[in-house]
Amino acid sequence: NAGVTQTPKFQVLKTGQSMTLQCAQDMNHEYMSWYRQDPGMGLRLIHYSVGAGITDQGEVPNGYNVSRSTTEDFPLRLLSAAPSQTSVYFCASSFRGRVGEKLFFGSGTQLSVL
């Protein structure tokens, strides 16, 4: 099982550029989410999805878009990159609606915006 796969692992952007961070899972999980991790601030939820065609905002959604056309994929789009978006991004998934379900994480994408 591949679990949760994120690509790319590293990316450098210039201010104003756009890009898409890819996330795919092969566990048939309904729930998928994106977090960013910054030093001293822990992980913060950007966007999440409870199933194909359904997305919602998390704590820090500004500057990011998501879509969920399939159960497997949940890409995160940066519309116009800013230095404040320099961070490590993690995608996570789990079964939905079960109290005892653990969250599975990808290995992360380290993004630098110059």
State the residues that interact with another protein by CB under 8 A: 4, 31, 33, 35, 40-45, 48, 50, 58, 90, 92, 94, 96-108
CB closer to another protein, 54 vs 79: 54
Work out how close the CB of 24 gets to another protein at its nearest, in angstroms, rounded to a whole number: 14
Cα 63 vs. chain centroid, distance in angstroms?
13
Least distance from another protein to the Cβ atom of residue 81, Å: 22
Reported as type and span, the H/E element at residue 47 is: strand 42-51
Nearer Cβ to another protein, position 28 or 42? 42
Beta carbons within 8 Å of 68's beta carbon, 6+ residues apart: 32, 49, 51, 52, 53, 54, 55, 74
The distance of closest approach from Cβ of residue 15 to another protein in the complex, given in angstroms and rounded to an integer, is 25
Task: Please state the separation of Cα 91 from the chain's center in Å.
Answer: 4
